[in-house]
Structure 1
């Protein structure tokens, strides 16, 4: 459809610039100025313009550069910096070095602005109608109206999900509200009510949404049947997880002002509901709609190329993605800057980059060895000395590489850039140690290793060479749902052989030995399988924005670093060491704080203060500003 291409092209290049919390119910659009809804929804162009603005809340998972995240009003991807994944090159206003408070605004208040877009969706659903064709004038037929309404309902449900993910139970907004109403006020719905609302909405629109689009970048963010099934599956896994299913003791006491409980007691049957939702998605995916992306070199499967190219091109693994310039080089504004943020300054073409995307040693350690085992299990791993000829079985490192970096899995080499590694353009070695060509001054990675994942290996970042490469910004990928499916199966029926089968699908694509082959003893052992599933999620989805929420829904965020914890002493290499050998000594590079109240983010304090009905999440006290 001609209109749809225009719609999506416009949608995905707009920024998410909303107003303050005070007027989050207003419609952010010039259409509303001195124009009635009747006039707006009688004009086909205005109808489509109103509709496309609803898309502004789709997150940008490639935007984890801290300054950009602040500009992006919370809808970027700050979560790897808050999880046990990344450390920024500077700490200004970072909330993880102290306990959270309701004053931590743009980071945690940004999502509250989604209510503005939810209202915009409601207004659209209440007013959009067929505009009959008259001569050569533009028109909107009934099929188009139904299609746009299904998309609006998806976005309304998805935005409720994003609010639920961060804040827990929130007010459900099914109808538009008049922000000028002096009596306007809303209480929080319960966990079960929010989950039921989102699930029902997504179920109702399944047959009104189209099938997957794999390759046209203009259509990647258009919700499809598979997208709705995926959100529904993730939602139900969340609802069954300890945080929302009786495991958060403090929240069990949380009530609205009328005494209504917001969090349910534990209900083990919710895992069966989660499994049913995951099964529905898996059945749909296996019917030819989605598949893991694989690349071949000279007819032979190439795992290194596969785990790189999956993030570089449009493919059948994508369930939902953005497609715009916010994932590529642009140092001039509030955009993703993924290359700008991660290219080392000592690399060819890295002269104007910051290279500050540091990777915590806890994440470095969790990548598997090439034998498929964790570093504490594998005989191949040592942290002593430097490699000699023939020692690295993968052939991916240079002689003289520190031994902690040799014999690692393909995802390690495509995700982590470590000290002394050769840059893919020009072949110069990058040194993060003191006085090296990308040393610890300015924006250099504070951990001694930088993020390599999703960085384009085909750009120079130096004119006149190519400055950018167009690539999808992933929101949902198939491997996540293979692993969610395995997780739900394990909680319901630990002896089910499909648990290891679906974990091994992800491992096979990653080019490492299957669990069924190297750890057959864990089959049927619920705790061992749970550990394996979580370890695979940790690596496959690293820095894509899910880890922060996973460790909280599992309620392991209060563990120590290296065991899912978000607080404690996090480590890296010794950037101040005067010798290369001294550089590779682990030291504490950041002390973080995590308190139990932080399993949920605080609701905006301004909303609590002006509402007679809203109640704050457990543990947060009002702040005076």
Structure 2
């Protein structure tokens, strides 16, 4: 289709400076130019341009920078910095060291602007039509119109899901509204209404969406049948989880101004509905549409290469992704670029303002050992001293590496860059300890370890290495849905053998022993299996943007750090220590605050103030700016 050549430009970063209801309901620059809808939707190029603009809300999970929530319609990925995963070098705008407020505009207001794109989708659905072929002029046939409309309906449903994920129940917008209407105002729909709307929309378009195209980057962000099934599965798991299913007691009292309740009482049958939705996706995936990406070296399965290349290549594990991330090895790269965020200052190609993305020790500790066990369970783990020859069974570390980093699983070595490790090209050792080439006398990870996941190990600032590398920005990957499937099965039927089977599919690809082999005693134990599923999600999906929402939907965000908590004392290495040995002592590097009201984000304060119908989430009181 001709419109596909435009899609790659449709998912670039965009910024909105929106301050009013009229602003967030504006539909496009074309209307500002006083062009009529009739004229716009009679021109094939304008129709496709309008359509591709709807894609602008697709998240960029590789942009961790806080300012991205302003530039990117709130669709960057600041969430790992709020979860027990990352700690940035700059925290001036990060509100996790105090209780959240409705005035925390940059963080929580950006996603509200998705309503602008929802309106653009509605206008498109109401006006797009066949433009018959006349001579050699461009045209839009009926099949293309139907396909474009199905994609617009998917995006409208997906954007409602993203709003629901952050704010809870929100107003459903399934028709365009007139921004000039003086009575323009909307009340919130209930949790069940929002879920039913999204589910029905996704179900209705399943047969109108095509199958996946794995290898053409122009198609990565184009919704497919598998994408719709995946969103539907995740939605229903959310709806069954405690946060949205009777577990958030404060929200059970939340009503609209007419007395309508917004949150439902607990309903255990929702887990069966979640399982049904997950099963539908799994059946589709297993019919040859998706598979875990695996790499081989000399004919032998290579887990290290597999867990790295899955993020570097277009592959059959991708369910939905963006294709516009360009790895730039020097400090001149875009501010939100993951390479810019993670390259240590002391690496050739690093710069004075690169490499500030730190990994919290709580995440470092949660990676498994090479025997598949947690560090507190494995006899291989110790934090005393430095390794000697032959001590690291994986062969992945240098002699003299601190023992907390040896004998770890493949995902650890592809995701975490620790003190004293050699850079992948050039071979220089990176030292975060005092006096080292990447210490805290300049830009450095505040935790003493930096993020390595999704950083290209091929780009470099010297020939013959490439200076840039495009890679897919994962939004949905197959392992997440294996684990969601296991979660739903465990809540419905803990004795089902498929629970460990699907968790072990993820572990097998990661190159660690299967739970069925090393922990057969947990089979059928709902709580033990729940813990195992969550531990696997924690590592496999680390920093991809879901952890922050998972611990909230499970309602464990009030736990202490290391147990899913978002508040408390978070730790890292002692970067002020005067000796190398002293560096490896855990210290508190940040005290974070999490209050129960923060299970849901506050609705934008100015929207509450100017609306007669919108009600704020529980616990948030208006503030004067």
TM range (shorter): over 0.9
- Which one is further off, 486-495 or 38-47? 38-47
Residue 426 and residue 147 in structure 1: after superposition, are their counterparts in 2 closer, same or farther (change >3 A)? same
The alpha-carbon deviation at position 30 of structure 1 amounts to 3.5
Superposition pairs of residues 524-539 of structure 1, within 5 angstroms: 524-539=524-539
* Per-residue Cα deviation, 1:2-34 (whole angstroms, up to 9, x for no partner): 332234444447667766666111113235421
How far apart, CA to CA, are the structure 1 residues paired with 2:55 and 2:312? 23
Kindly tell me: are residues 594 and 310 of structure 1, through their superposed partners in 2, closer, same or farther at Cα, counting changes over 3 Å?
same
Cα 1:334–1:126 shift into 2, 3 Å: farther
Output one character per residue of 1:557-609: Cα deviation in whole Å (capped at 9) or x when no partner: 00000000000000000000000000000000000000000000000000000
SS in 2 for 1:327: strand
Q: Distance in 2 between matches of 1:413 and 1:17?
A: 41
| Alignment match, 1:500 | 500
1:370-420 alpha-carbon deviations (Å, 9 max, x no partner): 000000000000000000111000000011100000000000000000000
- State the shift of 1:336 in Å: 2.8
Distance 1:382 1:58 in 2: 43
Whether the 8 Å contact between 2:326 and 2:470 is mirrored in structure 1 is no
1:324 and 1:32, CA in 2 relative to 1: closer, same or farther beyond 3 A? same
Q: Does the 8 A contact of 2:327 with 2:456 survive in 1?
A: no
| SS of structure 2 residue aligned to 1:324 | strand
In structure 2, distance between residues paired with 1:307 and 1:51: 35
Distance across 1 between alignment mates of 2:451 and 2:291? 26
With normalisation by structure 1, the TM-score equals 0.98
Contact 2:214 2:220 (8 Å CA) reproduced: yes
Which residue matches 1:202?
Answer: 202
CA distance in 2, matches of 1:206, 1:373: 40
Cα 1:153–1:172 shift into 2, 3 Å? same
Q: Could you tell which deviates more after superposition, 10-19 or 541-550?
A: 10-19
Confirm or deny: 8 A CA contact 2:419 2:432 kept in the other structure. Answer: yes
Q: Which residue of 1 aligns with 2:567?
A: 567
Please say if residues 458 and 465 of structure 2, whose CA atoms lie closer than 8 Å, have aligned partners that are also in contact. no
* More off after superposition, 196-205 vs 334-343: 334-343
Query: Secondary structure, in 3 states, of the residue corresponding to 1:322?
Result: strand
- Give the stretch that moved more between structures: 4-13 or 57-66: 4-13
Change (3 A) 1:211 1:527: same
What's 2:317 paired with? 317
User: Residues 560 and 80 of structure 1: is their aligned pair in 2 closer, same or farther, counting only changes over 3 Å?
Assistant: same
Change (3 A) 1:248 1:563: same
Residues 507-540 of structure 1, C-alpha deviations (whole Å, 9 max, x = no match): 0000000000000000000000000000000000
- TM score, norm. by length of structure 2: 0.98
8 Å contact from structure 1 (residues 522, 528) kept in 2: yes
CA contact (8 A) 2:328 2:459 kept: no
Q: CA deviation at 1:350?
A: 1.4
* 3-state secondary structure, aligned to 2:25: coil
CA positional deviation for 1:441: 2.4
* Contact in 2 for aligned 1:73/1:106 (Cα 8 Å): no
What is the rounded CA distance, in whole Å, between the counterparts of 2:150 and 2:430 in structure 1? Answer: 50
Cα deviations by residue, 1:87-119 (Å, 9 ceiling, x for unpaired): 001211111000000011111000100000000
Residues 88 and 357, structure 1, Cα contact 8 Å, conserved in 2: yes
Instruction: Report the alpha carbon displacement of residue 460 of structure 1 after superposing the two structures with TM.
Output: 1.4
* Superposed CA offset, 1:439-482 (max 9, x none): 01232000000000000000114688532111000000000000
Q: Is the 8 A contact 1:73 1:110 kept in 2?
A: yes
Partner Cα distance (2:233, 2:185) in 1: 31
**Within 2, Cα distance between the matches of 1:24 and 1:602?**
17
**Structure 1 332/30 Cα, relative in aligned 2: closer, same or farther at 3 Å?**
farther
Superposition deviation, residue 72 in structure 1: 2.5
Distance 1:150 1:376 in 2: 49
1:94 counterpart residue number: 94
Deviates more, 1:433-442 or 1:22-31: 22-31
CA pair 297-333 structure 1, distance change in 2 beyond 3 A? closer
Corresponding residue SS for 1:469: strand
Q: 1:14, 1:112 → 2: CA distance?
A: 15
- Give the Å deviation of 1:337: 1.2
| Residue aligning to 2:273 | 273
Q: CA RMSD in A?
A: 1.5
8 Å CA contact 2:459, 2:469 repeated in 1: yes
Is this contact kept in 1: 2:13–2:71, CA < 8 A? no
Change (3 A) 1:22 1:437: farther
Q: When the two structures are aligned, how many residues end up with a matched partner?
A: 625
Q: Closer, same or farther in 2 for the Cα pair 1:107/1:333, shift >3 Å? A: farther
CA shift for structure 1 position 44: 0.7
SS of the residue corresponding to residue 321 of structure 1 reads strand
> What per-residue deviation string (whole Å, max 9, x for no partner) do you get for residues 189-239 of structure 1?
000000000000000000000000100001100000000000000000000
Secondary structure of the residue that 1:325 maps to in structure 2? strand
> What is the rounded CA distance, in whole Å, between the counterparts of 1:281 and 1:352 in structure 2?
46
Report if aligned partners of 1:326, 1:335 keep a CA contact under 8 Å in 2: no
**Structure 1: which 5+ runs fail to align?**
none
- Tell me if structure 1 keeps the 8 A contact 2:218–2:323: yes
Distance, in Å, in 2 between the alignment partners of 1:446 and 1:240 is 37
- CA drift at 1:66: 2.6
Give the superposition deviation at 1:262: 0.1
Distance 1:567 1:501, change over 3 A: same
- 1:18–1:281 Cα change, 3 Å: farther
1:352 Cα shift? 5.2
Aligned pair in 2 of structure 1 residues 478, 516: CA closer, same or farther (>3 Å)?
Answer: same
Change (3 A) 1:355 1:20: farther
Indicate conservation of the 8 Å contact 1:63/1:326, yes or no.
no
- 1:103-502 superposed matches below 5 A: 103-325=103-325, 336-351=336-351, 354-461=354-461, 466-502=466-502
Structure 2: where are the runs of 5+ without partners?
none
- Give the secondary-structure state (helix, strand or coil) at the position aligned to 2:476: strand
Deviation at 1:67, TM superposition (A): 3.4
Following superposition, the deviation at residue 288 of structure 1 comes to 0.1
Residue 556 of structure 1 deviates from its aligned partner by 0.1
Tell me how far apart the structure 2 counterparts of residues 141 and 433 of structure 1 sit (CA, whole Å): 63
Structure 1 residue 53, shift from structure 2 partner: 0.5
Decide whether aligned partners of structure 1 residues 489 and 158 sit closer, same or farther in structure 2, where only a CA change above 3 A counts. same
TM-fit CA distance, 1:70: 3.9
* Contact persistence 1:13–1:325 (CA under 8 A): no
Q: C-alpha deviations, 1:253-297, integer Å up to 9, x for none? A: 000000000000000000000000000000000000000000000
Partner SS state of residue 472, structure 1: strand
Could you tell me how far apart the structure 2 residues matched to 1:571 and 1:21 are? 42
**1:332 to 1:21, Cα distance in 2 relative to 1, 3 A:** farther
